[in-house]
Amino acid sequence: MTDTRQVIAYCPGSFDPITHGHLDIIERAAKMFTGVIIAVAADAQKDHLFSLDERVQMCREVCAHLPNVSVEAFSGLLVEAAHQAGASVIVKGLRQSFDLSHEGPMTYMNRSLRPEIETIFLLANPAVTYVSSSLIKWVCGMGGDISPHVPPLVARKLRERLGRAD
Ligand code: PNS
C-alpha cells in the first residue's frame, strides 16, 4: 500500500480566480500528503480574467499559511507536468454529480497516459458545492457580493478588474 505521508499531490486547475471551494480541497489535501503543488494551467485556449502570473500570485498569497503547499504554472499535458514535478497523485474536488461526468473521461485518459499517477477526488464541503470561479465572476461583474466565497484579497482584485471597486 502507498504511504500517503510520503506522497506529493498535484492539484490542477485554472484558478481564475482561486475560491473558497478550491481552498477547501487544498487545505484538506495538505493534511493528507507530504506536499501539495497547486498547478495553475496556462491553457492559452481559454479566456481568463486574470493573467497566468496573477492567478499564480493570488494562489501563493492565499495559501501562504500552508507550509507544505507550493504553487507552479504548467502547460501541456497534466500528467506529464505532475510527473515532472515529482507528484504521484492528482487531487481534484467534486461538487455535484455533473463534475464527475466531466472529470471521469479525463481521469481515464490520464490513467491511460500515465497509469502510475493516481487521480483521487475529495467531495466538496457542502457549504461550497455551488461555488465556482465562473459564477463568482458573473455575480461580481453584476455588482453582487462575492465576499463570502473568496478570500478578501481575491474579492478586492475581482472588484478592481470588473470595475466594481468602491
Ligand atoms: O479549473 P479547470 O479549468 O476545471 O481545470 C481544468 C484542467 C486544467 C485540470 C484541465 O483543463 C487539464 O487537465 N488541462 C491540462 C491539459 C491536459 O492534460 N489535457 C488532457 C486531459 S485528459
How far apart are alpha carbons 142 and 68 in whole angstroms? 37
Q: Note if 95 is an active site residue.
A: yes
CA angle 106, 110, 115 (to 5 degrees): 145
Choose the catalytic residue: 92, 133, 137, 149.
133
Name the catalytic one among 5, 31, 46, 65: 46
Could you give the CA distance from residue 154 to residue 55 in angstroms, rounded to a whole number?
10
Tell me, in angstroms, the distance from the centre of ligand 1 to residue 165's CA. 31
Q: Is the CB of 113 under 6 A from ligand 1?
A: no
Q: 120 has which bridge partners?
A: 91
In the beta sheet, which residues pair with residue 144? none
Identify the active-site residue in 14, 20, 22, 92. 22
pLDDT digits (tens), the chain, 166 positions: 555 558 999 999 999 999 999 999 999 999 999 999 999 999 888 899 999 999 999 999 999 999 999 999 999 999 999 999 999 999 999 998 889 999 999 999 999 999 999 999 999 999 999 999 999 999 999 999 999 999 999 999 999 999 988 7
The CA 12 to ligand 1 mean position distance, Å, reads 7
pLDDT at 2: 53
CA of 73 to the centre of ligand 1 (A): 12
pLDDT at residue 5 in the model: 56
Name the residue with the closest Cα to ligand 1, atom 2. 13
